[in-house]
């Protein structure tokens, strides 16, 4: 077999809408709004520069219905660029694509092949000893095992399965088109090009089962480098597999360990050093940073007593480090240098409060009731004060809020020490 190379990507979510980002102070709204388009442009440019033979898109090209045809036209123009470079594209539609009512009505260039949603089909890659098997989603929620009906492998060819699936389940993703890893490994294909899961994952090697992750992070839960997987095949075997970032704005959850810091000044110096390292690693990309200050530190009480002032100081440090940094959120998750178990056991107000907070954090039903009781009070706040407040209907956010409350109470009641 002759060698060839291809790019495997998924979950482009072209023109994905912003969700509340404009309420954050200083948010790079326009950059985030355009990021998925710029990432797709980078993908096409990479395909041209690397002279790949074809591109695979494993579902969720779009993000549901378009506001107008410009979203579809932008994709068509990018695929036409690939066509002029002699590069084909093969696409299965995912759950978000199936939700778009006008997706099917826009003609696409001849170099683009969309797989049928009626049944799995096989397409030969002209000029190469390779075939691609795939099936698109017919509706938004597919709970059938699509892979079970994929054709048998073609002998003496490199067989690729193009599939939008959650496999046997992945946290944060709907269990669409479920199947087992064992099923895919034993199907006889040399490469499974998967989509739907937004975190890059090499699930199996030999045969390769790969989630490339999404092309561009859209919020803090999609942090880190995002892009596509470049695959090289020689003599019917994968000989190289590289993750290539194409994102233009990178979300970073930055944990700054301030255990050794004595005061706010040292904390800010530590934050600066960590931000400068993140800027270097981003290679010129804009960074959206959620800063988490962690560790048991003597600076804890100084940090927790005036969090709003600390946030502004952190934003000032970020601006000084780079004009390509936006601080999405600052969370103080430090702890006082104290024996918390001894504080909880105290027979006074501090012990009682800490015990109550600990009980709430561990009791989902009680914590949910607390969140519902607080919600009407939050609704009465002005919009500018509600912006950026945690969603107390979310269990994880409520637990974070309770942890922050415990730290604040320790700072105020313990007076900077753990007491007698």
pLDDT of residue 2: 74
Q: Are residues 169 and 228 in the same domain?
A: yes
As a whole number, mean pLDDT of residues 384-389 equals 60
Query: Between 288 and 411, where is the model more confident?
Result: 288
Distance of CA 301 to the CA centre of its chain: 33
Bridge partners of 289?
Answer: 252, 327
Q: Are residues 203 and 63 in the same domain?
A: yes
Query: Between 14 and 353, where is the model more confident?
Result: 14
Domain range enclosing 383: 338-420
- Does the pLDDT at position 388 exceed 70? no
pLDDT of residue 9: 98
Q: Are residues 158 and 307 in the same domain?
A: no
Q: What angle do CA 30, 33, 35 make, to 5 degrees?
A: 105
Q: Are residues 230 and 275 in the same domain?
A: no
Q: Are residues 112 and 86 in the same domain?
A: yes
CATH number at residue 120: 3.60.21.10
Q: Are residues 263 and 185 in the same domain?
A: no
Give 202-245 as a DSSP string. Answer: EEETTTEEEE--BSS--SGGG-S--EEEEEEEETTEEEEEEEEE
Q: Are residues 281 and 239 in the same domain?
A: no
Segment (H or E) for 333: strand 325-335
User: What is the number of domains present in the chain?
Assistant: 3
Whole-angstrom distance, CA of residue 259 vs CA of residue 301: 13
Q: Are residues 108 and 200 in the same domain?
A: yes
Examine the fold and report which residue of 185, 219, 245 is the final residue of a domain before the chain moves on.
245
Mean pLDDT of the chain: 86
- Does the pLDDT at position 162 exceed 60? yes
Q: Minimum mean pLDDT among 139-148, 184-193, 196-205, 239-248: which range?
A: 139-148
- Distance between start and end Cα atoms, the chain: 77
What's the pLDDT tens digit per position in 33-64?
899 999 999 999 999 999 999 999 998 888 76
């Amino acid at each position: 077999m002759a060698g060839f190379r291809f790019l495997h990507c998924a979950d482009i979510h072209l023109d994905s809408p912003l969700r509340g980002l404009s309420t954050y102070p200083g948010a790079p709204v326009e950059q985030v709004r355009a990021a998925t388009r710029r990432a797709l442009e980078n993908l096409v440019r990479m395909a041209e520069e690397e002279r790949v033979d074809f591109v695979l898109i494993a579902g969720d090209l779009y993000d549901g219905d378009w506001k107008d045809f410009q979203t579809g036209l932008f994709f068509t123009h990018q695929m036409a660029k690939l066509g002029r470079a002699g590069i084909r594209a093969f696409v299965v539609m995912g759950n978000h694509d199936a939700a778009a009512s006008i997706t099917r009505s826009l003609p696409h260039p001849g170099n683009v092949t969309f797989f049928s949603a009626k049944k799995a089909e096989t397409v030969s890659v002209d000029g190469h000893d390779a075939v691609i098997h795939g099936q698109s989603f017919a509706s938004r929620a597919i709970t059938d095992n699509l892979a079970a009906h994929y054709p048998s492998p073609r002998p003496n060819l490199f067989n690729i399965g193009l599939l939008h699936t959650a496999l046997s389940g992945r946290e944060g993703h709907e269990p669409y088109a479920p199947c087992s890893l064992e099923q895919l490994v034993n199907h006889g294909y040399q490469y499974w090009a998967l989509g739907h899961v937004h975190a890059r994952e090499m699930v199996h090697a030999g045969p390769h089962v790969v989630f490339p992750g999404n092309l561009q992070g859209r919020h803090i839960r999609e942090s880190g480098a995002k892009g596509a997987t470049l695959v090289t095949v020689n003599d019917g075997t994968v000989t190289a597999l590289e993750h290539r970032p194409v994102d233009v704005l990178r979300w970073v959850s930055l944990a700054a360990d301030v255990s050794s810091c004595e005061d706010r000044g040292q904390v800010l110096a530590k934050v600066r050093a960590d931000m400068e390292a993140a800027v270097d690693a981003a290679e010129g990309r804009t960074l959206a940073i959620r800063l988490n200050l962690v560790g048991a530190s003597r600076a804890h009480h100084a940090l927790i007593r005036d969090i709003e002032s600390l946030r502004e100081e952190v934003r000032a440090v970020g601006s000084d480090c780079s004009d390509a940094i936006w601080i999405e959120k600052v969370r103080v998750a430090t702890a006082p240098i104290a024996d918390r178990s001894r504080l909880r056991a105290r027979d006074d107000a501090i012990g009682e409060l800490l015990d109550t907070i600990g009980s709430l954090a561990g009791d989902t039903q009680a914590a949910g009731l607390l969140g519902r009781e607080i919600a009407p009070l939050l609704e009465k706040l002005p919009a500018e004060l509600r912006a950026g407040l945690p969603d107390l209907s979310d269990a994880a956010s409520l637990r974070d809020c309770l942890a922050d409350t415990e730290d604040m109470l320790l700072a105020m009641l313990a007076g900077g020490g753990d007491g007698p």
